[in-house]
Structure 1
Amino acid sequence: MTVSKCTKNISSRKNVRRATDNKRMLIFLFQQKRPFSKVIHFVMKIRLNIRWKLILGILAVVFLAYSISIYEQIKGLNTLKSRYAEEIALRVGKDYSLKMQNEINSKLLETSNLAKQIGMQLTNPEGERPNAIKTILNSVADANPNLTSVWASVELRNMSSSYTKDYGRVRFTYFRENGVLKYMQDTVELDGDNKTSLYYNCKVKKADLLSDPYWFSYNKKDSILETSIGTPLLEGSRFLGIVGFDISLEAFQTMVDSIRPIKGARSFVLSSNGSVIAANDSKLRGKKLQDVYNEASEALLTEKIAQNKPFGFEVKIGEPYHYAVLPVNYKSAKTSWAFGFAVPSRELLGSADNTTDKLWLLAIISMLVIMGVIWYISFKITKPLYRVNRALKNLAEGKIDESSKIKVDTNDELHDIAISTNELIDSMMRTVEFTTEVGKGNTNIDFKPRNENDVLGISLLNMKQNLDEAKRLEAIRKVEDEKISWATHGVALFGELLRHQETNLEDFSYHIISNLIEYIKADVGGLFLINDHENGERTIDLMACYAYDRRKYEERRLLIGEGLVGRCVQENETIFITDVPKSYLTIGSGLGEDRPSCILIVPLKLNDEVYGVLELASFEVFEKHVIDFVEKIGVTIASTISTTRINIKTQQLLEASKFQAEELSAQEEEMRQNMEELLATQEEAARKSKEIENLLESLGTASYIIEYDIEGYVIVANDSILNLLGMRRENLIGLNIREIDSYANKHFNEFWNSIKRGIPAKVKSELTGVNTSAILYETFIPIADEDDKVYKVMLIGQNLDEFVSLSEKNVTTSLN
């Protein structure tokens, strides 16, 4: 509550109290003067109109009532003097209390900014934190010579990760001694928090610090009276420490000494416990005001300061002074100070004594005048009052139209009442029209309040503005929801499309690009894939092109870095241009051709590896959410392309393995026949047996084979895998798959449970051995017993790099 509101409330309460006292006085008079009461009662019962009742009634009571009222007013004037003096003091002190409040709030804002800077330094490496904090504190202390010290207390666990206790802190302090800036650092409270300290209080409350005045010495010799202002360092709700300033009370003393708006006035600043922070009388500094003046103690000074309400009291030691105390509340610090202002009674009430004498004389003269005026005014009042009464009655009944207006010829308050009543009727008619239109949904109707005090008009205007704002926000929210829904539906749609992946990359590419262009309303698009050729060359090949609902068959091959598509692959970043070069691309139809308005080129990347590029063009510029959607879909497409290529390569390897197996089977059959035909030839049989042995070893040599038990532990491994991993058989047997296989280690639960259910799996993974590792394309085959229960898993791994290397060697040999 502001001081102006408080003084208005005080004045209002005084007026109500004064009117109540007068009413009680008249009731008492009527009860005591029974004959006079009977006369008034008789007059009121006579069959007369209100005009004559006014004349007779007012003339009967005005003399006695007015005389007694004047007497009581003069009698109570002396009592009201002190009350008005208090009110004046409160009004005068208002601006100065706000000035001090703004001063402290600015300091709290500075400490808050300082806390943010130091809080950012706590994310630095541990070794850099102390110097970073010192640098910031030194800069603030150097820039603010009016501060006694600038300091930071940081919990020790935030300075050293090896310290885990929730107590103990490091203090960093820059302070001034004889005008020279000095630095001090120490570690305190290693045995536990000091629960009586200001630091612990701030640590518990996690609120800004504004301390009561205290004496402090930086050199163990000279003490100064100061106060501390600080802000806690917080990470969410976690307390990291506190930073702040120490300010000498001399800063407040300078402000107080400059405040003397009234001759003989005194100013002072109080802390929450009633201690004097600054005062015109410097002897009071550091003392509690209630110890100096008993009246301050009786006024319950500290309790009222804590209530954050202005109050006053009178001190009659020597010359009487009226004291006004106004709260200076700092909500962020959860504490209150107060600004006090004392004014000599003689300066405030010097003219009140002369007013008393003049009031008696004025009362006699005015009484005579009133008696004559009442006689005349009675006739003028009743007729307009009747009209006003009728108009107000119509308003009360809800009848609001032009016929309810009144006309008064007098140029006085009755005329003003009539005008106000008519204006009220006009205002109500405009309000009815406005609310009717707004109720119909028409918020474009023009409506203005009559003035700044028109509460109803302002409220209606605010209602209209709120409705307009609600409409605007609803429209924005609806658009955003539509965008989110569009993107979510698109992700689900393409997720479903990509689940039905095809082994033919051209059909797969066309399937993707055609659906994407239709979904984002583009006009032309192409999907490029990066291909690695046997000669080591990498090219970007156009796999599918789609435009105007028609499949395009174009051959196009680019190198890395060539054109915008090649640059997109090289930079691994999305390219979006709206100023399309004339020679880059045109979109044609039966009606003609033209340049697109924008081109969007998005890399298809997964784990920073680019698999291809989407190039899209449209006559309409793509919005931001469409670009984000295409980038998001690009990751999914890249993942699917990667999986598809692996599946194709795995299928090729499986077909090769199948061919080898069939060839081996044919050889076995041939060997059997030969053995039947040549039983007599033992040497030939031995030779054939050796040949079969070599073929079996060749199969083992061509692939990397490991067998796991149902829990994932190695039970069998061929020589190829042992040589690849550089391990001995006895060292590899018994290891768990998670210890050697990176993919299984990362996805073990989901991956292994699927295999245990009898579902084969194909993955690309890294196997780790002794000081070596290799990337294999692995096929996991569950082996079931006669009850279809999986009891072991066979891994057949292929190293495509070896095939590529072997192919290159063969090419070189053939060329030679």
Structure 2
Amino acid sequence: MKIRLKIRQKIFLLVLTASAILYVVAISYILSISRRTMLDDALQIAQLTAKNYAKEIEKDFERDLTLTRTLSQAFSIYQTMPTPLWQDLFLKMYYPVLEGNKHVYSIWDSWEYYGFVPNYKKDYGRLSMTLWREGTQILSVQEERSIDGDPDKYGAFKRNNHDDLWEPYFDEGLTGKSERVLMTTIASPIQVNGKYMGLVGLDVGLEALQETISRIEPVPGSFALLVSAKSIVVAHHNADFINVPLKDIYPEDFENENLGQIVAEGIDHCYYRYDELGKPYYMCFVPVKPSSSLAVWSLGLSIPLDVVTSRADDSRNISLIIGISALFFLMIILFFIANGLTRPIVKITNSLTKLGQGEISDDLQLNLQSGDEMELMANALNKSIQGLNKKSSFAMDIESGRLESDLELLSESDVLGKSLVDMRNSLKKAKDDEEQRAIEDRKRTWANEGFAHFANILRNNSKDLQQLSDEVLKNLVKYVEGNQGAIFLINEEDKNNVYLELISAYAWDRKKHLEMRVLLGEGLVGACALEKETIILTEIPEEYISISSGLGEANPNCILLVPLKQDDKVVGVFEVASFKVFEQYEIEFIEKVAESIAATVITVKINEKTRYLLEQSQQQAEEMQAQEEEMRQNMEELMATQEEMARKEKEMGWTMDALGSFAMHLEYDFKGIILYANQRTLDVTGYIKEELIGKHHSSLLDNESASSSEAYRKFWEDMENRLAYQGLVKWIDHQNNIITTKVLRYPVFDENGNPLKVVELAVVMDDLIKEQ
């Protein structure tokens, strides 16, 4: 007797299949948790690696800081020794220190004059002794510094009066040195009872740090960088980034992760970042801080995630192989168990498989008499095959790409027919969407290539503003397929007359626009700069502009004006005219390039201003030297005249001794406030020093020479123009008596060209006459 099972009973066998599914889910969950754990362990190892390397660098700094601290503490007894003795002794002590520390570029100290020069009242002015390497030799020099005030960096250290690690700098200012070396200074203050008396510093070249950083590669593709407290890159695997601000190398990371504050405060910080190709990295910043230093540097370590996760991926793959093998073994067991139960299903499945493969024929119909649900399924399948024959032609049309074909539905319940129609409609929409995506991809590719191209142009032409403008304009007009273009830059040389100046033009009427100037708000160019917004015109007046060639000329169809701005600061306007109307993505591209142009223009202008100030400072120094020479000659002439007048009555030696008490010496600032007067001036005018210091210079002059006179105003103009003055001037003493004097006045300026004071030498004419 043949036993027939109902389909419900056969479905019971699916429990085995459910078991297999649960097995797969469990394996997948375990693999996921395991991979996450391994990844977390790998990232913690990366953080620990960064900290270990930071500790190594920190030990190097600590070693040098301990050396400077030891020397500075030992030198604090210098006041108990004669000055020549301790200067010679300490200088000799530096030689073995420099010889025994090959990584030290130079060792130097600084001794405040108020600490060892009797009666020295100023809080600045110092003596510096320096030893440095020059090839195989060790050279030394002794110099006076800060005579007119402490420089910023030294002054800051002096105020802090604490061990410190200085920001990196190029050492090129020391007399006798021939190299320009990027270095940092590790310094410790010399203190006497807590008061700052000087410092001992080691100048450590950063080449060794660059070699150390270059060797840090815990995994392939990783790299490290060392950053100073002010976010200046000290060492990097790419040498081009050395001494470059961190925000210029990783601008998005610097802003999004607040790296400036993190580095300055010495905070441990890790985050994920992506390079320009979208490759993920795990970046960690850890502090590098010698124990007693105020400054905190940071070590950054960048590790590619694909390398970090490779071990986890390998473990996952092995687990997958084992799991798949076990699942396959389970499937074999289930196959043999279910084989005898699923023969009717196999027949239906074979027909469905052929049907799924596109085969539609009467051979697929089944003659199944199982007496259960399988027989009902076979009958339903036979009816479906008959219905599919009617739709095969429509499906073949769709397969052949004839998407315009139509299908007449059998009824409102013809789901398959409706699905075919919907599929046809979806394919048509997908085709249209694909064409649109291709267009968008071409736009993105065009923009990205343009950004890279103009970044290279801006980088290679950042030294000359005119060359930069010409190259950018020429390439930008060509890249956007424009026909004419111009760049206007804001000229702020005269703060009361700010205007836009045509700096570069492409395919323009050069005769018409060679000296073109546009005020802010004037015309489209001025309006664009004032409003800081892009202007686009597609309806161009007939006589506004024309594009000409050898065969003729015509009006453009589009004019685009884009402000060159960075952080809401406008530095110029870019204008382009074209026969075609610019699309929105082209306008957005030009706007982004304009931001980069603005940033580069600002940088170039700053560099040009720096060069100008340097040249001006050098010129002022030459003028000061010439004035000093002129003063020396005048003094020599005055002395010669006095010697000639006194030669008949007195000996040369007596005259030279008397000259020191013969001339009046007066110093006052550029507001006329008296700063210094010698004893001869006090004796002649009848004032005491406290009365005269702080008075206005004009209070010593009679009405004819006072501040209300034209000659007095002319005198101050000469001083501001760096012109010396000599002549006869009438003074008024404390008792309002008129004293006729012969004076020599000359102005004094600092190294930055700022006026400091006026020095005046005066001789009473009555004294000259009496001497004669």
TM-score bin, normalised by smaller chain:
0.3 to 0.5
Task: Name whichever structure is richer in helix by fraction.
Answer: 1
Largest Rg, 1 or 2 = 1
Report the TM-score when normalising by structure 2.
0.36
